[in-house]
Amino acid sequence: MAKLVTGLFKTKVAAEAAVDALIKRGYTRDDISVLMSDATKNKEFAIQTGTHAADGAGIGGAIGGTVGAVLAAIAAVGTAITLPGIGIVIAGPIVAALAGAGAGGTAGGLIGALVGAGIPEHRAKVYDAGLRSGGILIGVESKSDGEAGQLEKLLDELGGEYVRQE
């Protein structure tokens, strides 16, 4: 059974390394979820605004490297949503899970949305604080239980904090 593996990264560089490692394991940008504050997106990805980073075709040249381009593309794609009133940008497959949490999830802010997506409340609170202080939350749905453990170890080794599988 697949499990959601999440980890909080304090820097854009660390988050990019995590996304790169996930892609090398066979995951695509459509498998990877990214959450960050609006302020972090505007600060860290301001250069990409107005480029064609999310087009797919020009990903490498848009910002000088595939790794950064993939993270920027995930953050910029049309599936990205911003939770109203709390300034959190969410992109990737977790958008559907958060939408499934319903209005109660967004009404309860990010913590309610994360809990609705299956993340325990105590961890959701830690992630909320980390995102508000500029962190980037990376999540990926493992392909199997065994893979979940490997992904958890990988994200931890790449500097992820509070890395867990649900």
Give the mean pLDDT per block of 10 residues along the chain (166 residues): 89 91 89 87 65 41 48 61 74 72 53 83 93 93 90 96 92
- Which amino acid, one-letter code, is at 29? R
| Residue 111 pLDDT | 84
Q: Show the domain range for 94.
A: 4-40+82-160
| Residue 73 pLDDT | 64
Q: How many domains does the chain have?
A: 1
Q: Is residue 73 part of a domain?
A: no
- Largest Cα–Cα distance in the chain? 41
Q: Is residue 52 part of a domain?
A: no
Please state the pTM of the whole predicted model.
Answer: 0.79
77, 54 Cβ separation under 8 angstroms: yes
Q: Is residue 68 part of a domain?
A: no
